[in-house]
Amino acid sequence: MEPIEIAAWVFHSLFSSVWTGSVLFLTLAVLPLARNGTLNATPLESVARKIKLISRTCAVVLLLTGGHMAGQQYTSESLFETKSGWLVLAMVTFWFFLMTTVEIGGAKLTDGTERDKVREPANNARPFFLTASLLAVLLLVTAGLISAQNLGYL
């Protein structure tokens, strides 16, 4: 394997872990604090802005590294006609919806913080971050299935 391919795999794994971890942390640790009023508006707004920045950065890096890896491993035919190709297409779909739900959830989370509202924005953002968390886990599961397929286990 060439150094460029190794770097693509490493960065892809690293940024997918950061993205998934940050979404799950926000959903499981930050949102409950905001929903019960323990967290005030200033830190909540800061966290919401950071999650959107992390999401955007990771989405771009994953698009670039994933595109490079797919371009090295698949033709247009094998992408649409093999199990691993279908898994890659599923991963791209999850990636798109994860990016979208984090953007919407982040916007809902900051809506009202300038008026020192916390509970309402957190409640409004919750369904989007629950969905984003599910999508993040599905992305990781799909990545594991792609690896298993490439190693000949599936």
Low-confidence stretches of the chain (pLDDT beneath 50): none
Backbone dihedral region for residue 74 (phi beyond 0: left; psi -120 to 50: alpha; all else: beta) = beta
Sequence-ordered alpha helix ranges (H) in the chain: 3-25, 31-35, 41-73, 76-81, 83-110, 119-150
Q: What is the pLDDT of residue 150?
A: 83
Q: What is the pLDDT of residue 28?
A: 97
- Distance between CA atoms of residues 34 and 131, nearest Å: 18
Q: What is the pLDDT of residue 114?
A: 84
- Distance between CA atoms of residues 96 and 63, nearest Å: 10
Length of the chain: 154
Q: What is the pLDDT of residue 1?
A: 67
Q: What is the pLDDT of residue 76?
A: 85
Q: What is the pLDDT of residue 33?
A: 96
What is the number of other CB atoms lying within 10 angstroms of the CB of residue 34? 27
Domain boundaries, the chain: 3-150
Q: What is the pLDDT of residue 132?
A: 98
Residue 28 contacts residue 137 (beta carbons within 8 Å) = no
